[in-house]
Amino acid sequence: MKTIKISLSAKSVDNAIKELKAYKADLRRKCMELCERLAAIGATKASIDYSRATYTGPKDIAVSVEPTDNGYKIVASGGAVLFVEFGAGVKYGDGHPLNDEFGYGPGTYPIPPGKGHWDDPRGWWLPKAKGGGHTFGNPPSMTMYQTGRDLRKEVKRVAEEVFRSND
């Protein structure tokens, strides 16, 4: 906690205003540092989890941290993101807790939705260009969903580190 002592003189009030402005700037800097550190932790976790996810096709997923007006965001990009995150196929492609919210799940991709072999109980063969091989789909990895849950558990610890520092 910051304490600012003030007396009722113009010079003392001016000094208090300067201290408050410096405190405000330091608080903003530390909030951005907190956001950046949490985003870096999340991006590392998401990268590892996407690389370990069950998926028959090529995993072209890249995870990055991008600045926003209010902090940072974790971005997963690549053609396999939706298949890996939300699952695919009639056998495995359901179960992500946010399917309904985002409109994903079995038969919702590829374009146009509902086409392809997603509902074939015998599975399907991937084209050679996409890794080849037989698949029944894959279970949802829920990587970004789990990353969000894990980051919420880390906020207090990281905030204590950031706001405890005096630099």
Q: List the structure tokens of 19.
A: 């201290």
- Look at residue 110 in the predicted model and tell me its pLDDT: 64
Which residues lie closer than 8 Å to 123 by C-beta, 6 or more apart? 89, 91, 117, 134, 135, 136, 137
Respond yes or no on whether the N-terminal peptide bond of residue 110 is cis (omega within 30° of 0).
yes
- Look at residue 166 in the predicted model and tell me its pLDDT: 65
Q: List the structure tokens of 8.
A: 């009722």
- Look at residue 114 in the predicted model and tell me its pLDDT: 65
Give the rounded distance of the alpha carbon of 35 from its chain centre: 12
- Look at residue 167 in the predicted model and tell me its pLDDT: 53
Give me the residue spans of the domains in the chain: 10-164
CB contact at 8 A, 141 and 49: yes
- C-alpha dist (Å) from residue 20 to 17, 27, 148, 165: 5, 10, 34, 18
CB count within 10 Å of CB 167 equals 5
- Look at residue 9 in the predicted model and tell me its pLDDT: 93
Task: Name the burial class of residue 122, with classes exposed (0-12), middle (13-18) and buried (19+) by CB atoms within 10 angstroms of its CB.
Answer: exposed
Sequential pLDDT tens for the chain (167 residues): 678 889 989 999 999 999 999 999 999 999 999 999 999 999 999 999 999 999 888 889 999 999 999 999 999 999 899 989 999 888 888 899 999 999 888 778 766 666 777 788 888 887 887 777 888 889 999 999 999 999 999 999 999 999 996 65
